[in-house]
Amino acid sequence: MPGNMLSKGEVFVIETDAASREQLSSALQQSAYDLICFADGASLLSEAKARMPACVLLEMPPDRSALDVLKRLREENCMAPVLVTSANGSIAMAVDAIKSGATDFIEKPFRTHDIVGRIDAAIDEVAQPGASRQRWLPGCGSLTGREGDVLEHLADGLTNKEIARRMHLSARTVEGYRAGILKKAGAKNVTDLLRRIFGQGAPSQM
């Protein structure tokens, strides 16, 4: 860690690519994070019981075992934001990751300074007083705070990429949230969704 900079917390990481690990380690240390790498989910889960990380970065292997690690973290009340990375990302995988409790879904290859920015944004959001708020879809149950934010941006006519920039997320993550909202509302597309929720016109605020 450079100089006498105070640590911003520990980032738990599962990443099989040695070059990516080295780049992440360098970038995170420069940003005052302590990086702790784990060989597998079991060792990460064991350590997470002993102390709470500031953030978790999970690589999604072909067998999708990262989803099990993610679910276990949430079951054991680890509230740290979890970012999932994958070299074979799809909308379906992003939806599954978000449903399992991921904060963000990032496709490889990624730029390490982007990852650091995403980690900063995720930690900042968890620290906000309203981070765990929920909103309700008429007749469809609750939306998470993130889903509600995505819905507001959709109602303002923003594209997935524009929403991703506003919310400091990947476009794939926004697609995942959008698909989840459509499913909860039983809507075929965004136009159908907005018509069901707002009638013929979308309001400027929710």
Please state, in angstroms and rounded to a whole number, the distance separating the CA atoms of residues 58 and 116.
14
Residues 109 and 183 in one domain: no
Answer whether residue 89 is part of any domain.
yes
Strand partners, 12: 36, 56
What is the secondary structure of 148-189 as a DSSP string? HHHHHHHHTT--HHHHHHHHT--HHHHHHHHHHHHHHHT-SS
Looking at residue 201, its pLDDT comes to 41
Cβ-contact 102, 123 below 8 angstroms: no
Q: How many domains does the chain have?
A: 2
Residue 127 has what pLDDT? 73
58-70: pLDDT as tens digits: 999 888 889 999 9
Average pLDDT over residues 146-171: 89
> Does residue 163 share a domain with residue 107?
no
% of the chain beyond a pLDDT of 70:
86
pLDDT(186) > 50: yes
Is pLDDT above 90 for 197?
Answer: no
- Are 113 and 175 part of one and the same domain? no
Range of the domain at 120: 10-127
Task: Give CA–CA dist 116/37, Å, rounded.
Answer: 16
Contact between residue 58 and residue 67 where contact means Cβ atoms under 8 Å apart: no
Residues 28 and 54 in one domain: yes
- For the segment 46-64, the average pLDDT, to the nearest whole number, is 91
- What's the rounded mean pLDDT across residues 116-136? 74
Q: What are phi and psi of 99, to 5 degrees?
A: -60, -30
109 and 19 in a common domain: yes
